[in-house]
Amino acid sequence: MLLVKDLRDSYIEFFKSKQHRHIHSSSLVPKDDPTLLFTTAGMVQFKPMFAGTIPLEYTRATSIQKCLRTSDLENVGRTKRHCTFFEMLGNFSFGDYFKKEAIEYAWEYSTVVLRLPKDRIWVSVFENDDEAFNIWNKTVGVPAERIVRLGKADNFWGPAGDSGACGPCSELYIDKGPQLGCGKPDCKPGCDCERYMEYWNIVFNQYFQDTDGRQTPLPQTGIDTGMGLERLATIVQDVESIFQTNELKQLVDFVCRELNVKYEGNNIPAVNAMVEHARSLTFAMTDGAYPSNEGRGYVLRRILRRALRFGRMLGMKEPFVYRMVDEVVAIYGSYYPEIVSSAKNVKNVLEGEERRFLETLEKGIDRLDEIFAALSKNGSGKISGHDAFLLYDTYGFPAEMTSEMAMEKGFSVDMEEFSAEMEKQRERGKQSWKGADNAFESAMTELAKIGSGTVFTGYAETETAATVAALSDGRQVIDALKEGMKGYVVLDKTAFYAESGGQSGDTGEIVFGDGAVFVVEDTKKSSKTFVHHGYVKKGTIRKNEPVSARIDIVRRSLIKGNHSATHLLQAALRQVLGDHVKQAGSFVDADRLRFDFSHFEAMSVEQIDRVEQIVNTKIWENLAVSAKEMKIEEALKTGAMAEFGEKYGEVVRVVSMGEFSREFCGGTHVDNTGKIGVFKILKESSPGAGMRRIEGVTLKGVADRYSSLESIVSALAAEFNAPEKDIVARIKDLAAENKSLQKEIQKAKSANLASNLDTMIAEAEEIAGIKIIAQTFDGASADDLRVLADTVRNKVQSSVVIFASSCDGKASLLVAATRPAVDKGADAGAVIKKIAPIVGGGGGGRKDLAQAGGKDPSKMKDAVAEGVTVFKGIIK
């Protein structure tokens, strides 16, 4: 039997024999394409090559691409063929071969290499594509009755994302036999039943579709094919479901064994979904996407929560999906080594996510059951958007999950109302990434075309003699820019580094022969064109003029120091924390550096210190830094670190620092680590789940930090009148002194109040043998009043106390009565109830003690006077 891994090998070998270059899968998180959350097809990494916006290094390629699609999420597990993650086998032509060869290759691979029975293969073509029909029929020899013409919905593909290449397509189907069919006489490809399974899609790329949906012919035609590896495996292994193919089956067996369930009946969809989702999550998280509340993170959260819901049906109570990661790694790790090194981190994040959701899952399901019961009672078939939102907000139920669960019971969800509820929540702080300025976008696209492939001289030079290739004022491409104008300059070659790989763009000057000067404030890349952003400081600058492009040397050298430090930092982090540490993003400019990496918990102070020490030791070892271009396969063999989500060409640049660090990197670096000077970590934090961030400084950043600390220290020294070394001791002394002064004040206050007590008691009115001690105070707290009242009650056996005080802008009242007074009818609670409203408050209490607060201390005298009156009324 052909195993899945044999299919991978045979496909690549076949197309290599047809002069295709084998290109590695790009990341599941597409780089440079904000319109796509995930890589959805093999062609995604080749989009610029189809669009003709970059020069071609090769015109034929083949790949096995990691893909993730969630459009059919609710079907995954329930059907025999749906996945979110899958591997797509593909062959591509960029202006090279077209329909004839593409069709012939597909036929040859299917029937000669895989030996699929010719009479069970059906094909479809786009409704009016006679050319494709004739190639299949006349050149290949597929009988006309097995060629189906289908409309746009089935046989027109693309673009991936908002814009890109697209065109009519032709698909290959395998007839799985009448036993799986619907039995209708006209059943054929395109029918919804399971009999004819599509396994290969050949897209004839002819058009470019822009973001408005307009299609224009591409400068060159192309071929983009895609064949789902899992589906192909069901055919060659002669099984019904992708979950029975040899690799996925291993995961199915793992789940059944560990959860002790049989693969039968209702368990089948649940086990399938868990298997599929664990695989998706492992791959996507390895590529740097983590569960979160928005964007791709939310997609992952939905997938995981769906898996947990199915897990619950299988009796799973504890986190489990994370335990499947090692099994996924065991199966796929040899072909995708990146999942091996990330496994530890992926497991940690998953386990935490699972635990958190399992805490609310039961409660959410109970709530949902209540909703179902209510719906059945009132005969409504729809869960309101409000309820769905509540489930989402309180129990973390993604709306799609609620909807799927509702569907199982024959209900639906008012998704429109749900979206409206979400929108309300989102309103604040909502930001759209889409650039509003279309003129600017198109001016940049125009510039990119003219200057396609700027030569970068900045690894070796800081100043380059060049010619102006194009100018723009940001609205259109123009021939000249006058003094004072803001604009954009493209040169044929430049020493200016354009922002990429986290390194910020260079600044400097472009000087013209006649003395005109363009100040460069930033440099950015548009495709492969370097665009200098800035303004004309002097004279008028023109197209086609010779210039000298000079970067700001000091700034660049500081950037180099920071960039090289991030490489040492990554190597040091791996040494201290482990091999799962991988760069997830970085930023360096002249002042500081920031490095994000995968790790599951906050670093300890000791770990931070050790990392800093290692980096500094490597700086002071003066390691030689070198950069070398090599083929990607060769580079990977050297163990060089590649970045998450980064897409690399066939030839990559590898930067080495002694034997300590080796990374794929296009940035500029010091030639010797000694030139980084010194490295200091300023902060360690978390930018998101499963990730940590280090912010640090080198060179000038350290000097700046030193200066700012120094000025703080001198200000402290002056303020506390102490030499630097004594400042801390002096502050400690002052703090202790402050504390004891506070105590003194408190004591004095109490003594002062108490000293007046005897006079108060002596002067107090007496009614029916009860002394009424009524008094107001300034600055006594409620506690002070209580202490004072206790003292009075101890001193005078039969007494009533009515106190009020103003403290911190508020009024406090206290009424207390001794036991003998209460026996004679005194009631503190009744009194306070009457007088609290006078100071704008309320309160109550027992007969012997009642306290209240109020907003208006100016009325406290009235309150006390009224208290006396009320009391007299009670007692009489």
Interface residues with ligand SER (CB under 6 A)? 41-43, 90, 157, 201, 203, 224-226
Q: Work out how close the CB of 448 gets to ligand SER at its nearest, in angstroms, rounded to a whole number.
A: 25
For residue 334, give every residue at least 6 positions away whose Cβ sits within 8 Å of its Cβ, in sequence order, or none. Answer: none
Angle at CA 745, nearest 5°, toward 742 and 750? 130
Query: In the complex, which residue's CB is closest to ligand SER?
Result: 226
Beta bridge partners of 855: none
Contact 133, 157 (CB under 8 A): no
Spell 595-605 as b/e; 16+ CB within 10 A means b: bbbbbbeebee
User: Omega into 217 within 30° of 0, i.e. cis?
Assistant: no
Q: In angstroms, rounded to a whole number, what is the distance separating the alpha carbons of residues 675 and 642?
A: 24
Contact 507, 583 (CB under 8 A): no
Maximum CA extent, the chain: 125
157 versus 173: smaller Cβ distance to ligand SER: 157
Find where tokens 């073509």 sit: 125
Q: Work out how close the CB of 256 gets to ligand SER at its nearest, in angstroms, rounded to a whole number.
A: 32
Q: Work out how close the CB of 502 gets to ligand SER at its nearest, in angstroms, rounded to a whole number.
A: 31
Q: Work out how close the CB of 175 gets to ligand SER at its nearest, in angstroms, rounded to a whole number.
A: 20
Q: Work out how close the CB of 91 gets to ligand SER at its nearest, in angstroms, rounded to a whole number.
A: 9
84 versus 562: smaller Cβ distance to ligand SER: 84
Burial class (CB in 10 A: 0-12, 13-18, 19+), 484: exposed
Q: In angstroms, rounded to a whole number, what is the distance separating the alpha carbons of residues 342 and 829?
A: 68
Q: Work out how close the CB of 90 gets to ligand SER at its nearest, in angstroms, rounded to a whole number.
A: 5
100 versus 555: smaller Cβ distance to ligand SER: 100
150 versus 780: smaller Cβ distance to ligand SER: 150
Q: What are phi and psi of 90, to 5 degrees?
A: -150, 150
Phi/psi class of residue 292: alpha, beta or left (left: φ > 0; alpha: ψ in -120 to 50)? beta
For residue 337, give every residue at least 6 positions away whose Cβ sits within 8 Å of its Cβ, in sequence order, or none. Answer: none
225 versus 267: smaller Cβ distance to ligand SER: 225
For residue 80, give every residue at least 6 positions away whose Cβ sits within 8 Å of its Cβ, in sequence order, or none. Answer: 194, 234, 240, 241, 242, 243
157 versus 392: smaller Cβ distance to ligand SER: 157
Three-class DSSP category at 715: helix
Q: In angstroms, rounded to a whole number, what is the distance separating the alpha carbons of residues 586 and 135?
A: 51
The full length of the chain comes to 876
Q: What is the DSSP string of 627-684?
A: EEEEEHHHHHHTT-B--TT----SEEEEEEETTTEEEE--S---SBGGGG--EEEEEE
Spell 570-593 as b/e; 16+ CB within 10 A means b: bbbbbebbeebbbbbbbbbbbbbb
Q: In angstroms, rounded to a whole number, what is the distance separating the alpha carbons of residues 870 and 876?
A: 10
Q: What are phi and psi of 815, to 5 degrees?
A: -125, 130
Q: In angstroms, rounded to a whole number, what is the distance separating the alpha carbons of residues 536 and 510?
A: 9
84 versus 402: smaller Cβ distance to ligand SER: 84
Q: Work out how close the CB of 225 gets to ligand SER at its nearest, in angstroms, rounded to a whole number.
A: 5
Closest CA to 585 of 283, 161, 297, 289: 289
159 versus 398: smaller Cβ distance to ligand SER: 159
Q: Work out how close the CB of 265 gets to ligand SER at its nearest, in angstroms, rounded to a whole number.
A: 33
40 versus 698: smaller Cβ distance to ligand SER: 40
Q: In angstroms, rounded to a whole number, what is the distance separating the alpha carbons of residues 96 and 467?
A: 33
Q: Work out how close the CB of 108 gets to ligand SER at its nearest, in angstroms, rounded to a whole number.
A: 18
Q: Work out how close the CB of 226 gets to ligand SER at its nearest, in angstroms, rounded to a whole number.
A: 2
Q: Work out how close the CB of 215 gets to ligand SER at its nearest, in angstroms, rounded to a whole number.
A: 16
157 versus 803: smaller Cβ distance to ligand SER: 157
Tokens describing residue 335: 């072909």
Q: In angstroms, rounded to a whole number, what is the distance separating the alpha carbons of residues 154 and 165?
A: 17
Beta bridge partners of 651: 631
33 versus 643: smaller Cβ distance to ligand SER: 33
Q: Work out how close the CB of 170 gets to ligand SER at its nearest, in angstroms, rounded to a whole number.
A: 11
62 versus 402: smaller Cβ distance to ligand SER: 62
Q: Work out how close the CB of 160 gets to ligand SER at its nearest, in angstroms, rounded to a whole number.
A: 7
155 versus 776: smaller Cβ distance to ligand SER: 155
62 versus 280: smaller Cβ distance to ligand SER: 62
Q: Work out how close the CB of 217 gets to ligand SER at its nearest, in angstroms, rounded to a whole number.
A: 19
